[in-house]
Structure 1
Amino acid sequence: MSHIDVYTGLYGLLASILVYWLGMRWNRSRRSFPPGPRGLPLIGNALHMPADREWVQFAEWAKTYGSIVHLSVFGRSIVLLSSPEVITDLLEKRGAIYSDRPILHFAGEMVGYNRFILLEPYSTRLREERKIILSNINPRRGAEIHQVQEAKVIQLLDKLLDTPDCFRDHLRWFVAAVVFQISHGHEVKDFEDRFVRLAEETTHDFSLAAQPGQHLVDSLPLLKRIPDWAPGTHFKDVARAGRLLLRRLRDEPYDHVKRQIARGTASPSITASVIESNPNPTPEEEDLQKSATCMLYATGADTTVSALGSFFLIMTLYPEVQRKAQAELDSVVEHGRLPTFDDRSKLPYLECVMKEIIRWNPVSPLALPHSLTQDDVYEGYHIPAGSTVIPNTWAILHDPSLYPHPFEVIPERYIDADDKLNPDPRTFAFGYGRRVCPGQFLADHSLFIVVATVLSTMNIGRAKRDDGTPIDIHVEYSGGAISHPNEFQCCITPRSQEVGRIVRHAAGSNLAETA
Structure 2
Amino acid sequence: MELNIWGMRIVVFGTREAVKAVIEKQSAYTSSRPEMPASCDVASGGYRLLLMPHNDDWRRARAIVHKATMPKSADNLRPAQQFEATQVIHDILTENADSASFFHNTRRYTTSLMMTATYGKRLPNTYDQDIKQVYAVMKDLGTTALPYGFLVDTFPALAKLPMWMQTWRKEAKEIYDKQGRLWTKLYNNLLKEIERNTAPECFVKHLVDNEKDRRGIDDTQAAFVSGSIIEAGSETTAGLLNSTWLYTAAHPEVLARANEELTRVVGENRSPTFDDFDKLPYISAITKEIMRIRPVTSFLIVRRTTGDVVYKDYFIPKGTAIAFSQNAIHHDDCYEDPDEFKPERYLGSNVRIGQSLTHPDPRQRVTYAFGAGRRLCPGVHIAENSLFIVVAKVLWAFDIKPPLDDNGDEMPLDTSHEAYERSAIVVPKPFKLRFIPRSAHREKIIREEWAKAETEGYWLGDIKVNKNGMLSRS
TM-score of the two chains, using structure 2 as the length reference: 0.87
Of 267, 288, 304 in structure 1, the residue corresponding to residue 237 of structure 2 is 304
Residue 495 of structure 1, CA deviation: 0.9
Q: Which residue of 2 aligns with 1:398?
A: 331
Tell whether 2:204 aligns with 1:271. yes
Give the percent of matched residue pairs that are identical in Structure 1 and Structure 2: 28
Q: Which residue of 1 aligns with 2:420?
A: 477
Tell whether 2:286 aligns with 1:353. yes
The answer to whether the Cα contact below 8 Å between 1:413 and 1:422 also exists between their aligned partners in 2 is no
Change (3 A) 1:303 1:161: same
CA distance in structure 1 between the partners assigned to 2:250 and 2:133 by the alignment: 33
Q: Which residue of 2 aligns with 1:158?
A: 90
Residue 416 of structure 1, CA deviation: 4.6
Once structures 1 and 2 are overlaid, which stretch shifts more, 412-421 or 338-347? Answer: 412-421
Q: Which residue of 1 aligns with 2:450?
A: 507
The answer to whether the Cα contact below 8 Å between 1:211 and 1:480 also exists between their aligned partners in 2 is yes
- Report SS of the residue matched to 1:466: coil
- Report SS of the residue matched to 1:499: helix
Q: Which residue of 1 aligns with 2:401?
A: 461
Change (3 A) 1:421 1:168: farther
Change (3 A) 1:141 1:229: closer
Change (3 A) 1:252 1:393: same
Tell whether 2:104 aligns with 1:169. yes
Q: Give the 5 Å matches for 1:408-487.
A: 408-416=340-348, 426-475=366-415, 476-487=419-430
Of 395, 415, 436 in structure 2, the residue corresponding to residue 493 of structure 1 is 436
- Report SS of the residue matched to 1:389: strand
Any idea what the Cα deviations from partners look like across 1:150-191, whole Å, max 9, x if unmatched? 111111111101122211111111111100001110121323
Q: Give the 5 Å matches for 1:30-429.
A: 68-69=1-2, 71=4, 73-74=6-7, 76-112=8-44, 114-164=46-96, 165=99, 166-226=101-161, 234-277=167-210, 284-399=217-332, 401-416=333-348, 426-429=366-369
The one-letter code of the counterpart of 2:376 is V
- Report SS of the residue matched to 1:167: helix
Residue 485 of structure 1, CA deviation: 1.8
Any idea what the Cα deviations from partners look like across 1:12-69, whole Å, max 9, x if unmatched? xxxxxxxxxxxxxxxxxxxxxxxxxxxxxxxxxxxxxxxxxxxxxxxxxxxxxxxx33
CA distance in structure 2 between the partners assigned to 1:135 and 1:222 by the alignment: 37
Change (3 A) 1:352 1:284: closer
The answer to whether the Cα contact below 8 Å between 1:77 and 1:384 also exists between their aligned partners in 2 is no
Residue 247 of structure 1, CA deviation: 1.8
- Report SS of the residue matched to 2:68: coil
The answer to whether the Cα contact below 8 Å between 1:195 and 1:253 also exists between their aligned partners in 2 is no
The one-letter code of the counterpart of 2:442 is V
Any idea what the Cα deviations from partners look like across 1:311-358, whole Å, max 9, x if unmatched? 101111001111101111111114311111110001111111111111
CA distance in structure 1 between the partners assigned to 2:157 and 2:34 by the alignment: 17
Change (3 A) 1:494 1:70: closer
The answer to whether the Cα contact below 8 Å between 2:60 and 2:215 also exists between their aligned partners in 1 is no
Change (3 A) 1:253 1:453: same
The answer to whether the Cα contact below 8 Å between 1:101 and 1:120 also exists between their aligned partners in 2 is yes
Once structures 1 and 2 are overlaid, which stretch shifts more, 108-117 or 499-508? Answer: 108-117
Residue 447 of structure 1, CA deviation: 0.7
Any idea what the Cα deviations from partners look like across 1:238-280, whole Å, max 9, x if unmatched? 1011111232233111111111122222222111111122586
Change (3 A) 1:420 1:291: closer
Residue 78 of structure 1, CA deviation: 1.3
CA distance in structure 2 between the partners assigned to 1:462 and 1:371 by the alignment: 44
**CA RMSD in angstroms, aligned pairs only:** 2.4
Once structures 1 and 2 are overlaid, which stretch shifts more, 498-507 or 433-442? Answer: 498-507
The one-letter code of the counterpart of 1:512 is T
Residue 282 of structure 1, CA deviation: 8.9
The answer to whether the Cα contact below 8 Å between 1:403 and 1:421 also exists between their aligned partners in 2 is no
Residue 291 of structure 1, CA deviation: 2.6
Any idea what the Cα deviations from partners look like across 1:365-387, whole Å, max 9, x if unmatched? 31122221012232222312222
The one-letter code of the counterpart of 1:135 is K
Q: Which residue of 2 aligns with 1:31?
A: none
- Report SS of the residue matched to 1:115: coil
CA distance in structure 2 between the partners assigned to 1:73 and 1:131 by the alignment: 35
Change (3 A) 1:420 1:293: closer
How many positions carry a matched residue from both structures?
444
- Report SS of the residue matched to 2:69: coil
Residue 142 of structure 1, CA deviation: 4.2
- Report SS of the residue matched to 2:367: helix
Q: Which residue of 1 aligns with 2:470?
A: none
Residue 439 of structure 1, CA deviation: 1.1
CA distance in structure 1 between the partners assigned to 2:94 and 2:79 by the alignment: 24
The answer to whether the Cα contact below 8 Å between 2:2 and 2:9 also exists between their aligned partners in 1 is no
Higher Rg? 1
Change (3 A) 1:236 1:278: closer
Change (3 A) 1:72 1:467: closer
Once structures 1 and 2 are overlaid, which stretch shifts more, 372-381 or 147-156? Answer: 372-381
